[in-house]
Amino acid sequence: RRHLTTMAAAAPDSEWLQQDSRRMLHAVYRVGDMQKHIDFYTKLLGMKLLRQRDIPQDKYSNAFLGYGPEETNFAIELTYNYGVDSYDIGEGFGHFGVALPDVYAAADKIKAGGGTITREAGPVKGGSTVIAFARDPTGYMWELIQRKQTQEPLCQVMLRVGDLQRSIDYFTKVMGMKLLRTRDVPEYKYTLAFLGYGPEEDNCVLELTYNYGKTEYAKGNAYAQVALSTKDVYKTAEQIRAAGGAISREPGPVPGIGTKIVATIDPDGYKWVFVDEEDFNKELE
């Protein structure tokens, strides 16, 4: 078990971090059957299908789903690669969180619609918040979390990490997130850390789970990355390097699309892609 020693070491010290405005845009993952997912998210989770695109020359298509417009809200970007009908989910990705005013009713609706509830609605073990877990057509877990209505129902991306302090340092110093809160649950041997670019009430945040003693997780190939916005991918690349982070894709335009991006890999091997804010907004027009 690792203790959190320097929990408040969150002050980002780079000048660029203070000028930049960042936001979590969407989580990308690969699915074997696009229509099944679209049906599950729209009919049983209440999301909207926001946009779709087909890139035949590269043999894939995308669908974006969420609870509000991408200009302001977080989204799920599904990728279907022609002819690939299944993926290995791995064990590192935990769940997406959805905040709903009545989790009991939401779980009933999912069951009535033929969806799978793997954990019935009720207070979380070791706490009081009412939760339930649903499994989507690929096997990804969706945590339904009872909360009063918010601007951003798509409220969490949960990833399992092997060293919580190492991750907190990375997401605060390299990614420029704020540490919002931590929660240690000794009776079930895990610790959580919530990080993000704004308060949990109206922003999707990153939830990191550390299970006592577990230092590595199999990644699989279904979950891909989270995309984040930045005002300048070149300055962000410099800032990431100066903070000791690893650049896995140099800053610059994506061939064919023109949107400027830069990618980094976190200490557990998860990928994070910064997207130029202006280029992203043009994609939405």
Question: Exactly one of 70, 77, 143, 277 is catalytic; which is it?
Answer: 143
**What is the full DSSP assignment across 120-177?**
EEEEPTTS--EEEEEE-TTS-EEEEEE-S--S-SEEEEEEE-S-HHHHHHIIIIIT--
143 is catalytic: yes
Is residue 125 within 8 Å of 78, Cβ to Cβ?
A: no
The residues binding ligand GSH (CB under 6 A) are 94, 119, 124-125, 160, 188, 190, 209, 211
Minimum CB distance to ligand GSH smaller for 193 or for 240: 193
Closest Cα to residue 153, out of 97, 196, 107? 97
Minimum CB distance to ligand GSH smaller for 252 or for 269: 269
Question: In which residue are the tokens 């041997």 written?
Answer: 189
- Cβ contacts of residue 121 below 8 Å, gap of 6+? 103, 104, 106, 107, 130, 131, 132, 144
> In angstroms, what is the minimal distance from the CB of 118 to ligand GSH?
9
Q: What are phi and psi of 283, to 5 degrees?
A: -60, -30
> In angstroms, what is the minimal distance from the CB of 146 to ligand GSH?
12
Provide the token pair at 60. 């894939």
Minimum CB distance to ligand GSH smaller for 160 or for 235: 160
> In angstroms, what is the minimal distance from the CB of 225 to ligand GSH?
20
Minimum CB distance to ligand GSH smaller for 25 or for 132: 132
> In angstroms, what is the minimal distance from the CB of 107 to ligand GSH?
13
Residues marked as catalytic: 143
